[in-house]
Amino acid sequence: MKLIKLLALCLILTSCNAPKAVYDYDSTTNFSTYTTYQLFPDFQSGLSQLDETRLIASLEKKLQQKGISKSKKPDLYINAYSQERVDRNRSSLGIGIGSGGRNVGVGVSGGIPIESNRLILEITIDFINVEKDALIWQAVVETKVNPKASPQERRALFNEIVEKALEGYPPE
């Protein structure tokens, strides 16, 4: 019974697919002065056109919720770029059989290789001060991606990525 509970706990912990974010910013910047934005003039995320549209829609919605509006004369340029990689997991499952008695033991064991490849998407979002042309805030979000995800699942994924990224803006 304890083994079943332990396996269930392990499955729950390993199935979590929440994005992880890391933030960096210029500590001398007063972020309350930034109220308008525009996408970086040479915005090229490296995503497919459909995914880039999803990312931009998620960014615009979240920025609007934070009180930052789109403008032709922005305070901030927003840039995003992505990188995909395959994370190879080379684990093995050990199996053993043994017997013993009267100070004699016999055992046979072997390992069964288990290979699983996971697609990891890393998206970096930059906030650039237009006037100074300087990077003032950055978030890097990393998450597992299902390449066979439906359009609705992909939209939800980009909403989750942007939500996680902008949790750290403005920095406190």
H/E element, 162: helix 151-166
What's the number of CA atoms in the CB half-sphere (13 Å) around residue 139? 20
Q: What is the tens place of the pLDDT at every residue in 89-122? A: 656 666 666 676 667 666 666 666 665 678 899 9
Q: Do residues 136 and 90 touch, judged by C-beta distance below 8 A? A: no
Residue 4: pLDDT band with limits 50, 70, 90: low
pLDDT score for 11? 45
Q: Do residues 127 and 171 touch, judged by C-beta distance below 8 A? A: no
Q: What is the tens place of the pLDDT at every residue in 15-55? A: 456 889 999 999 999 999 999 999 999 999 999 999 999 99
Nearest-angstrom CA–CA distance, 78 and 59? 9
Q: What is the tens place of the pLDDT at every residue in 54-74? A: 999 999 999 999 999 999 999
pLDDT score for 113? 63
The domains of the chain are located at 18-87+120-166
pLDDT score for 5? 53
Instruction: Give the architecture (CATH level 2) of 18-87+120-166.
Output: 2-Layer Sandwich (3.30)
Nearest-angstrom CA–CA distance, 162 and 137? 14
